[in-house]
Amino acid sequence: MARVLLTAEAEIGRRVVEVVESSFRGLIRLDVVAADLGDVKARAYNKARGQIRADLLLDLLRPVRGWDRYVYVVEGDGYVPGLNFVFGVAHGHKAVVFTERLRSAVELFEMRLAKEIVHELGHTFGLGHCADPRCVMYFSNTVRDTDLKGPGFCEACFAKLTRAFSEI
C-alpha cells in the first residue's frame, strides 16, 4: 500500500478522501494536511496572466519525507506554457491540482476535485492519458469532460496501475 500525502489550501471533505481511496481499490492510504502555500504560489505566479505556472510551482514544492506520493491542492488557476489552463499537473512523485475552474456547488466541486486528484495521482504512478472518456485518466479539456468521466480507472488503466504497484 502506498502512502499519499495530500497537502491542501482548500478544505478537503471526507467524501473527497473516500472517492480517491476507493478509486485506487485499497492500493493507497491518503493522509490530508492543511497548509498555506501562499509564499511558494507567489513565486510561481504570472501577474500578466493572473495565473500560477503549474510546472514551476510543482518544482518549487518540497515533499516531506515519509510518503510515497504527494498531491498539493492549490486555491487558484494554473497553466503551463502552451495551454490556456490546466486542472492539474504531475511529475515524478508529486502532483498539483488547482481549484479555480473546478468550483461549483459543494457536491459537484468535491467530485470534480476527487477526480482530478485521482487523475494526477495516476500520472505519478506512470499512467498516461486514456482514450476511454469514462476513465478517470481521460484528458479533460473542459470541466464538462471532468464531469462526464468517472472517478475510477477503466480495466486497462487499472491493470497498468496494478503492475506499477508491483514494482514499488
How remote is the C-alpha of 122 from its chain's centroid?
Answer: 8
71-102 pLDDT, tens per residue? 999 999 999 999 999 999 999 999 999 999 99
Helix (H, G, I), strand (E, B) or coil at 118: helix
Question: Structural domain tally of the chain?
Answer: 1
From CA 83, how far away is CA 154, in angstroms rounded?
26
Instruction: List the catalytic residue out of 75, 107, 110, 120.
Output: 120
42-79 pLDDT, tens per residue? 999 999 999 999 999 999 998 888 999 999 999 999 99
Neighbours of 167 (CB within 10 A): 7
Is 167 part of the annotated catalytic residue set?
no
What is the residue range of 126's domain?
Answer: 2-166
Which domain CATH number covers 41? 3.40.390.10
